[in-house]
Amino acid sequence: MSELPAADGSSFPGVLRIHHVAVVVRDANRTADAYRRGLGLETLAVEERPGVSRVAFVEMGDTRLELIEPLGPDSPWTAVLSDRGEGTHHVALEVADLAAAVPALEARGLRFLDRRPRREAGSVLSVFLDPATTGGTLIELVQQIRSAR
């Protein structure tokens, strides 16, 4: 992986890998079970945010599927499911340093929906790029949170 220089002199070490593909579903456990039975994919973990979402992480080698089930009528995922139905929501790309990536990518003309990193399911910090600057694809940049030993 090589660094990508910007016109302003900043550098961005680049994307490490596809971290996960997020899929909004009606029932995360049922879908994860179907993936296990049909495709041989194992569930790594299930996390729940009461009233917001249940997220099942399904392992696919070095990448994951993130199955997001809305919980409750006030969950933002309920509106996504109602408006678009089940299906792919976003692609997450892992970076080593989110704090460095945001200004470096802004210097390259990319915009963010919110440039402030948030802690998300799966022990990551994340920000979302504005799909208007990524060809219509919602891209999440994530940095894995490493636990102190």
* Listed residues 71, 94, 117: the one ending a domain: 94
Instruction: Examine the pLDDT at 3 and tell me if it is beyond 60.
Output: no
| Average pLDDT of the residues of the chain | 90
Both tokens assigned to 29: 């456990």
For the domain that residue 61 is a member of, what is the CATH number?
3.10.180.10
Same domain, 59 and 35: yes
| Three-class SS state of 36 | helix
Q: What is the pLDDT of residues 20-77, one digit of tens each?
A: 999 999 999 999 999 999 999 999 999 999 999 999 999 988 899 999 999 999 999 9
N- to C-terminal Cα distance for the chain?
Answer: 28
The count of other CB atoms within 10 Å of the CB of residue 137 is 10
> Which residues is 76 bridged to in the sheet?
none
Residue 126 is which amino acid?
A: S
Using CA of residue 81, residue 94, residue 140, residue 117, what is the dihedral sign?
A: positive
Enter the pTM of the model. 0.86
Both tokens assigned to 97: 């340093």
